[in-house]
Structure 1
Amino acid sequence: MNSGFTDVLLLLALAVVLVWGFRRVRLPAILAYLAAGLIAGPYITGWIADPNEYHFVAELGVVLLLFSLGLEFSLPKMIAMRKLVFGLGAGQVVICTILFALLAVLLLDDWAAAFVVGGIVALSSTAVVIKQLAESGQLTTKKGQVTVSVLLFQDLAVVPMLIIIPLLAATNDISIWESLGLALLKGAGVVILLMAIGKWVLPHIFKEIARLRTDELFVLATLLVALVAGGLTHLFGLSMALGAFLAGMMLGESKYKHQLEADIRPFRDILMGLFFITVGMQLNLDVFLRNMHWVILAMLVIGVVKFFIIRGLAGLMGERREDSWAAGLMLFQMGEFGFVLVSLALTYQLLPPDFASLLVGIGVFGMALTPVIIQRNNAIVKKLLNWRGKKAEDLPKEAIPTPEKPSRVLILGFGRVGQTVSRFLRAEDIDYLAIDHDPRRVQEAQAGGANVFFGDAGRRDILKAVYADKAALIIISFAEDDRAIAVLKSVRSLNERAEIIVRSRDDMKLSVMMDEGATQVVPDTLEASLMLVSQVLRRSAIPIRRILSQLDKARREHYGDMHGFYPGETTDMDPEKIDRLTFLHAVALPEQAFAVGKKPRELELDDIKVKIKSVRRNDEELTEIDDDFTFAEDDVVLLAGSPRAVEEGESYLLNG
């Protein structure tokens, strides 16, 4: 068997085992890839003697990562949050880069390398922090918004770093400022060229591809666009990742954005995994172990410096002490883009390999601690405030991924059917709790005020955490019958008394579900959703006449209240039918938002074909939005409409 094939096979097997193990203990997959690279690299087993053999494929992972970042880049959100993004975010990046560069120059005696180190450690982990904020329900809180603002600017700061690092390595006679000016001119030319292609060429190409309804062709076209854009900037002497980012920004404004994200994600994740594996291969274990104490000390110093800088800047901008402390605490670590810049600096020989190993070690430790810090940040901040003699009574209750008491109804699975059930329960003031394993869906639903938590309903520990063993009525609403049966077995093993209503796509496995302990099995489709609601309301002691009235009203209004759902990562984003879907999306209004201080009639949202379902203000949900209602700062507006309409509505609410 070919040795190269054997190496790749062993590497994949090792990555699968480590990712599984790390995710079981709730650690980021990035750390698993780094560990796989460390084990397979030249410093432990020596399976892969030369990590550079995989450099090209790993670089493709970085290209796709920046392409995805460009797709998700929201200019309207950045403009609306400009005070925090360009005030707090820019201040943090600039001050941290300067301070850490001054410290690094004492160690490296090289200003170019010191500047690179400063830029690397100034960045935090967007992927890990936002994922943990979403899972813990803190993303739409004020401290979450402050944290996201800093991360937005940090992501933007990666782009100039991709330009500057190759310039710092240049050995010609041209000064750095002349090189930077030349690079900016080249960059401006590439931006103009790509924007022109994106405006007049790509929409027609993707329209034709979408009309053919060939998934393979759409995926190939997406990859081709990302790589051609990267190749174009490389041709101009700039980073391939920069071109991919610009291409993502360009396509992020198109109606194909959601499909592009869905298509590119598997390739991006696999190739990014390989990239982080190659970074792990470059970690010299001997150097790392000999300097373990310095690595831990450096991580603490970096965390403390970031902590106080963010706290100080946020305080100067008028943010609450609690939010300032919490944001500084959550952004203490080095991020995944730091690994990207470390790899780029090594490619251009700007950093000594031993020093790069120490930076990777600092990043690994920080990212491993991040989930714990974010989950416990309120308790830590409260202790800090008490230690400083400040009152912490007004500190908001800590958002944790489990409830404090049993709910009247437990919904397992918060897809379209689960969300429909929850709306009827809320209309009748029936206490419910839902859990779902899709982090994006949980994030969107929590932002809209839904009582939903992140978790895998098939795990007994998660079920116990949401009091499934004490619930009287449990709804299992998964679309996959096999998964519903597995969850049903777990639930029934914990609770023999509960009434369990199970959603099924058809009646093929009805008898199996009944044998496993289901009280009622209900078929799929919207009518099935109404049947499920009728069973829930009847078992919640609601009068039958009111139930029939509710169902009759829903039918008479053509299921109007049932239209609209929070999209998740598994939502079908086919461009041909996506505009026929109705999405729900929560928009938080910062201080500078266009809608703040205005009334609904002044906004004329009907022209955009988007509706306001509700407004959440100070944890109170307002559903009656009349012409006299006035939007205020920190309102969370729940919009309903097609994906494009919702995006336009968000942009209009934020920027006009």
Structure 2
Amino acid sequence: MELWILLADIVFLLAACLIGGGLASRIGQSPLVGYLLAGMLVGGPGGFGFVGSNVEIEEIAELGVALLLFSLGLEFSIERLKGLGSRPLLGGASQVIVTVLAGAVAALAYGMTMKPAIALGAMAALSSTAVVLRILMERSELEMPHGRNSLGVLLTQDIAVVPLAVLMTVLGGDGTPKDVAMDVGKLVLMAGGLATALYVVTKIAVLTLGTLTLERNRELTVIFAVVIGLGSAAAAHSAGISPALGAFISGMLLGSSQFAIQIRADVSSLRVLLLTLFFGSAGMVADPLWILSHLHWVVAATAALTIGKLVITTAIFLAFRQSLRVAAATGLALAQIGEFAFVLGAIGRTSGVVSDDVYALVVSVTIVSFFVSALAVPFAPKFGDWAARMLGVGIDISAEDGTPSSPHTTDVVVVGFGPTAQLASIPLMESHLRVTVIDLNHAGILTARQRGFDGHVGDATSPDVLEHASIGEAKLVIVTLPHFRSALTILQLVRSMNPSATVLVRSRYQIHSDALAAAGGIISGDEEQVGGAIGEQVKTWLTETGTATN
């Protein structure tokens, strides 16, 4: 009978999360907000008490954490990190470290002891991958400078979850610094031993089942992934290591195999189900009556967190020689607590370093910060422009590249120097025209200078950058950025600053061509070129096979 009661509670909680997630999506919020609020209302201390199996559901939901880290391990890729560039990744690592320290200092100032203060700083350091990336992708801003910065920081934070989880486990132990060092060494040795054992087991399993068998029988791949992922979590728990860490290690090992893409797709449904339970159970920790009675503290903590992370992230990217406009936009986009704070909080509660009150406060602040983020992230580019205007800081593209600023003249301005621009600029190499290239990618600028062009690192959506590039003197402007909003912004700025220039604009999708043409650009469409190239191949095939004459 108890089993059926637990099953009924799980179904009821999932149904509540379904309704809450749907309503949250309807008002432009992340479904995670709906899951948290649903858990709070149906099973929280101040809720309606419809769900009574809180402890049992929390234990099941811990599997969701393990699968989340397992999926994160599958996504881990050195190539993916390199593709983002060094500044977003270094900025992300710096942001995590500085925020952990700042959060710990603030907690100590309010009377917390050292270990809980560090734990609170660790939870506050992480931003919401689910919320931020969802909004940036919906607004097509992921390829903009602040979008790439945000992606690099969020990916770095995701990777930092593993060492922070280890930190939570270590903080839960008692003893002298020597004992703590020994605990860390023990964890490292156990993790290394677990990784070695998992590597051997994975190889044996692949050899035993056979590569062809796993590829042709999808159900075996699912079972294989569950056995490796959850088995490693159980083995890690038995060895005294965080189960989430064990699942991450196994995911990282499988991530380099030929089954990674298929496994990632196969476990996604199970991961979504268990993670929904996890966020619903996390919401059951929060007490809506406590939040209402302590609303001033929750609002104050949310405001302090938002402003603190905004200032820290902006300062870090300014230190990495990015413009104030881009740095401020990145800072506002990342100024919230993320879903991984629940993962760290769950580990911290298990190890005893995070109390129920602290965890409830983190859940409450996270819910509020999710709502704030839904308004703040779309406003990030305008906030960056406002910050630059208010402080009177122009963007000197030469200074960003580390070279002295000097006025210059130009005949042609090329914005973006990827493969498309490199092909388009070949005729310019044989001319005597003075060509200026603007790009945020240092590799593209290096290629431009190798071709004899004048290259500058800068964000061409800023009027200051275009002005320093002598856009008013240009006879021809070539905009090859794949991002529609950025291309349209640049086109409008060029038209306002140099109405007589000829502007050639790349349109990645046909749906955007009319808007770019209306803004005064001569359009070259990717879809038309691809369609035309395929059409020519079809004609060749028809001719070679004689089908055209039939």
Both proteins in one fold, TM over 0.5 = yes
1:10 to 6, 9, 12: 12
CA 1:236/1:138 → structure 2, altered by over 3 Å: closer, same or farther? same
CA 1:205/1:135 → structure 2, altered by over 3 Å: closer, same or farther? farther
- Once the 2 structures are TM-superposed, how far is the Cα of residue 200 of structure 1 from its aligned partner? 5.6
- What SS does structure 2 have at the residue aligned with 1:137? coil
**Pairing 1:325–2:318 present:** no
Matches within 5 A, 1:357-372: 357-372=360-375
Contact residue 18 and residue 35 of structure 2 kept, 8 A: no
- What SS does structure 1 have at the residue aligned with 2:272? helix
Greater relative contact order (Cα 8 A, min sep 6): structure 1 or 2?
2
More helix by share: 2
**Pairing 1:285–2:285 present:** no
- Once the 2 structures are TM-superposed, how far is the Cα of residue 554 of structure 1 from its aligned partner? 2.3
What residue ranges of structure 2 are gaps of 5+ in the alignment? Answer: 395-461, 467-480, 490-503, 516-526, 544-550
Q: Summarize deviations over 1:597-646 as a string: whole Å, max 9, x none.
A: xxxxxxxxxxxxxxxxxxxxxxxxxxxxxxxxxxxxxxxxxxxxxxxxxx
- Once the 2 structures are TM-superposed, how far is the Cα of residue 79 of structure 1 from its aligned partner? 4.2
**How far apart are the structure 1 equivalents of 2:31 and 2:270?**
15
- What SS does structure 2 have at the residue aligned with 1:245? helix
1:352 to 351, 355, 369: 355
CA 1:322/1:557 → structure 2, altered by over 3 Å: closer, same or farther? farther
RMSD over aligned Cα atoms: 3.3
The one-letter code of the counterpart of 1:381 is G
- What SS does structure 1 have at the residue aligned with 2:103? helix
2:196 to 188, 192, 199: 192
1:554 paired residue number: 538
1:473 paired residue number: none
**Pairing 1:131–2:134 present:** yes
- Count of residue pairs the alignment pairs up: 429
2:227 paired residue number: 224
2:57 paired residue number: 54
1:252 paired residue number: 255
**How far apart are the structure 2 equivalents of 1:558 and 1:159?**
56
2:168 to 165, 169, 188: 165
**How far apart are the structure 2 equivalents of 1:549 and 1:292?**
61
1:24 paired residue number: 26
**Pairing 1:115–2:118 present:** yes
Matches within 5 A, 1:598-609: none
Identify the range of structure 1 (113-122 vs 83-92) with the bigger mean alpha-carbon deviation: 83-92
CA 1:452/1:162 → structure 2, altered by over 3 Å: closer, same or farther? farther
**How far apart are the structure 1 equivalents of 2:324 and 2:15?**
47
1:441 paired residue number: none
Contact residue 6 and residue 53 of structure 2 kept, 8 A: no
The one-letter code of the counterpart of 2:242 is S
**How far apart are the structure 2 equivalents of 1:245 and 1:267?**
16
What residue ranges of structure 1 are gaps of 5+ in the alignment? Answer: 405-428, 433-448, 454-465, 468-535, 538-546, 560-656
CA 1:61/1:431 → structure 2, altered by over 3 Å: closer, same or farther? same
- What SS does structure 2 have at the residue aligned with 1:175? helix
- Once the 2 structures are TM-superposed, how far is the Cα of residue 86 of structure 1 from its aligned partner? 5.1
After TM superposition, which residue ranges in structure 1, 4 or more long, deviate above 3 angstroms? Answer: 1-6, 79-82, 171-174, 195-206, 394-401, 429-432, 449-453, 547-553
1:183 to 163, 184, 187: 187
- Once the 2 structures are TM-superposed, how far is the Cα of residue 273 of structure 1 from its aligned partner? 0.3
- What SS does structure 2 have at the residue aligned with 1:362? helix
**How far apart are the structure 1 equivalents of 2:210 and 2:62?**
26
2:246 to 236, 243, 246: 243
Q: Summarize deviations over 1:379-405 as a string: whole Å, max 9, x none.
A: 12111211112345358999779x99x
**How far apart are the structure 1 equivalents of 2:542 and 2:306?**
55
- Once the 2 structures are TM-superposed, how far is the Cα of residue 190 of structure 1 from its aligned partner? 1.8
CA 1:394/1:135 → structure 2, altered by over 3 Å: closer, same or farther? farther
**How far apart are the structure 2 equivalents of 1:549 and 1:208?**
36
**How far apart are the structure 2 equivalents of 1:452 and 1:224?**
46
Matches within 5 A, 1:588-599: none
**How far apart are the structure 2 equivalents of 1:176 and 1:82?**
35
1:39 paired residue number: 41
The one-letter code of the counterpart of 2:185 is G
**How far apart are the structure 2 equivalents of 1:383 and 1:29?**
30
Contact residue 330 and residue 380 of structure 2 kept, 8 A: no
**How far apart are the structure 2 equivalents of 1:290 and 1:355?**
16
Q: Summarize deviations over 1:121-162 as a string: whole Å, max 9, x none.
A: 011111221222222212122222222221122111110122
**How far apart are the structure 2 equivalents of 1:558 and 1:142?**
45
- Normalised to the residue count of structure 2, the TM-score between the two structures is 0.71
The one-letter code of the counterpart of 2:188 is L
The one-letter code of the counterpart of 1:19 is G
Contact residue 40 and residue 283 of structure 2 kept, 8 A: yes
The one-letter code of the counterpart of 1:216 is E
- Once the 2 structures are TM-superposed, how far is the Cα of residue 297 of structure 1 from its aligned partner? 1.6
2:463 paired residue number: 393
